[in-house]
Each structure stands twice: as C-alpha cells, then as structure tokens.
Amino acid sequence: MKHKLMLGRYIEGQSLLHRLDPRSKLASMLCFIAAVFLINSYVTLFIGLVFTLIIIVLTKIPLSYYIRAIKPLIFLIAFITLFHIFFHTEGARMLKVGVFSIYSGGLEKGLVAAGRMTLFIAFAAVLSFTTQPDRIANALGSFLRPLKRLGVPVERLTLMLSLSLRFIPTIFEEVERIWKAQVSRGFSLADQPLKEKAKRTIALLVPVTSSAFRRAESLADAMEARSYRLGASRSQYRQMLWKRSDTLFVLSFTLPICLITLFN
C-alpha cells in the first residue's frame, strides 16, 4: 500500500539539494510558496516553471519521479482547471459547447491555477525526495524552538513528530495485516451502503487503535528505560550545519519573486 505513494518518499542521492541544511530547504519552501502565490499569468507561470525546473535538475532525480508524484493528484488539478475555465468569463469567447462557453480569460486562469498547483506539488516533492523525514522534523523543531517561550510544548511536538515518522511504515504494515486477517474471516465492504461500510470499518479501526495504544505504552517504558526524561537536557547526535550554500540557496529565491512581481 505504502509503495504506491511517491510523494513523501526519500530518494538517496548526493546532489546539491541533498546536501543542503534542511532548515534552508524549509525556509526556501516558504519563499517559494510566496512566489507561486504571486503568479497570475502565462508569463509569470513560465518564470515559475523555469525556476522550478532548474531546481529539479539540481536534485539529479529523473523527471519521471516527479511526474509520478504529481499523478495521484491529477484529478484535483484537472478539476481546478475546469472550474476556472467554465466559471470565468473574461476575454474573448473561444468555444461554445452547448450552454457552456469557454473564454480565453477563463482558459488562462484555469491553466495558471493548474500550473500553480503543479509547482507546489513539484516543490514538495523536491523537499521530500532530498530530505530524510527526520531531518525535516529536526528543522521544524528548530524553527519552533523560539515558541517555547510562549509556552508551546516544542519538545513534545518534536518527539511526536519523530515517533510518527518512525512508526508510519510499521503501522501501515499492521493495517494491511489486520485487513488481510479480517478479509480471511469474510470481511467485505463490497456492495454495501455507505452507512454499513462505515460500521464495518470498525473491524479494522478497533484492532489498529488498541494496538496503537498498547504500542504507545510499551514505547514509553522503553524510552524511560533508556533514561529518557521529557524536558531534561539531552545532547544531539544529528547536527545541522548551515553553510554558505544554504544562505545563497535561500537568497536565490528572491530572483523569481522579483521577476514575477515585475511581470505581474
């Protein structure tokens, strides 16, 4: 099951993007989102596309992987495109299909919206392909640290995040196992009304949930047994080194922001 999900996977490599500090990648993602939000025309979309392609090339990961990451969301993208096409009536009328008319303005809006969505997903893919999940978690943790003063339980959140990352594949496997066990006992969702389907899904959810609780208790014991103490100071094995290349990388995003604003 999990193997079908491309987005969210880490792909080994030694490219420039792989070697960047996860914090710079996370920070640059924010800049990227800002840039993409400003896109509102074919020209600005083109600028965004070129910039994204440069980054993709820098990851040294084949384009086919990115396409596979986008594929599951193709319906969403298509829906957004069609929505814009049929509901915007600016510009010259291009086509008339029965009651519906397609205008050039609507087409542009639709394609631009689709393009923006695609760029978002592509950049998310860049981030996940080149950064191991726990590094993303560490980066998030370090960004949130100043919030500690406001009473935000940063350590707890970081712990929750890394444990989730550790256990997601394991829990996926367990769900699969329990599903198979129940199917072997005649469990079936086929040809059932929605209400019944929901009721029957309990046959899967109850065992998975209770096992998750049991697991949490055992984990807590195991962590305590290894001298873990929430809130106590700990050293850090994994280090994040912010290098010059990281600063340059984040700063490079000012280029598309400026260009897009210019051509807006």
Partner 1 sequence: MPLMYNQDDKHKPPAIQLNNIRFQRGSHTVLKQLSISIPAGQWVAIAGCNGSGKSTLVRLINGLLQASSGEIIIHGQPLQQEHIYDVRSQIGYIFASPDDQFIGLTVRDDIAFGLENLCLPREQIEQRIQTYAEQLHLTELLDRHPATLSGGQKQRAALAAVLAMQPSVLILDEATSMLDSHFRDQLLQGLQALHVEQQLTLITISHDIKELSAAERLIMLHDGVILADGKPEDLLIQQQLLKACRLKAPYVLELCQELRLQGIDIGESINEQEVLNKLWALLSSRSPIAIKSAR
Partner 2 sequence: MGITFEQVSYRYKERALKQHLALDHIDLSLKTNQFITIVGAPGSGKSTLLQHLNGLLRADHGTIHLLDMIISPSPAKLPKGLNQRVGLVFQYPEQQLFKETIWEDLLYGPLNFNMSKAEAELAAKKAAEFMGLDDLILAKSPYQLSSGQIRKAAIAAVLAAGPEIIVLDEPTASLDASSRLELMTLLHRQCQEQGRTVIVVTHALEEVAPFTDQIIVMDEGTIAFVGKPHELVNRTDLIDKAGLQIPAAYELYAALQKPLRLSKLDHYPSAAELAAAIKAAIS
Q: For binding to partner 1 (CB under 8 A), which residues are involved?
A: 132-134, 162-163, 165-166, 169-170, 173, 215, 218-219, 221-229, 232-239
Residue 165 contacts which entry, partner 2, partner 1, none (Cβ below 5-8 A, type-dependent): partner 1
**The token pair that represents 213 in the structure block:** 């609780």
Q: How many residues bind partner 2 (CB under 8 A)?
A: 20
Phi, psi of 31 (to 5 degrees): -65, -40
Residue 184 contacts which entry, partner 2, partner 1, none (Cβ below 5-8 A, type-dependent): partner 2
First to last CA, the chain: 43
Tell me which residue of 47, 1, 9 sits closest to 179, measured CA to CA. 1
Residues 2-31, one symbol each (x = binds partner 2 by CB under 8 A, - = not), give -xx---------------------------
**DSSP designation for 211:** H
Which residues face 93 on adjacent strands?
103
Q: Which of residues 98, 186, 193, 231 is near partner 2 by CB under 8 A?
A: 186
Interface segment toward partner 2; rule CB under 8 A; list 25-33, 68-76, 204-212, 232-240: 204-212
Interface segment toward partner 2; rule CB under 8 A; list 79-87, 101-109, 174-182, 243-251: 174-182
> Is 39 within 8 Å of 115 (Cβ atoms)?
yes
> Is 141 within 8 Å of 154 (Cβ atoms)?
yes
Tell me which residue of 227, 253, 17 sits closest to 135, measured CA to CA. 17
Q: Which of residues 181, 220, 230, 248 is near partner 2 by CB under 8 A?
A: 181
CA distance 62 to 69: 12
Tell me: does residue 234 bind partner 2 (CB under 8 A). Answer: no
CB atoms within 10 A of CB 235: 4
CB atoms within 10 A of CB 59: 20
Q: Shortest Cβ distance from residue 205 to partner 2 (Å)?
A: 8
**Mapping DSSP to helix (H, G, I), strand (E, B) and coil, where does residue 11 land?**
coil
Residue 183 contacts which entry, partner 1, partner 2, none (Cβ below 5-8 A, type-dependent): partner 2
Q: Shortest Cβ distance from residue 164 to partner 1 (Å)?
A: 11
Which residues of this chain interact with partner 2, rule CB under 8 A?
3-4, 174, 177-178, 180-188, 202-203, 206-207, 210-211
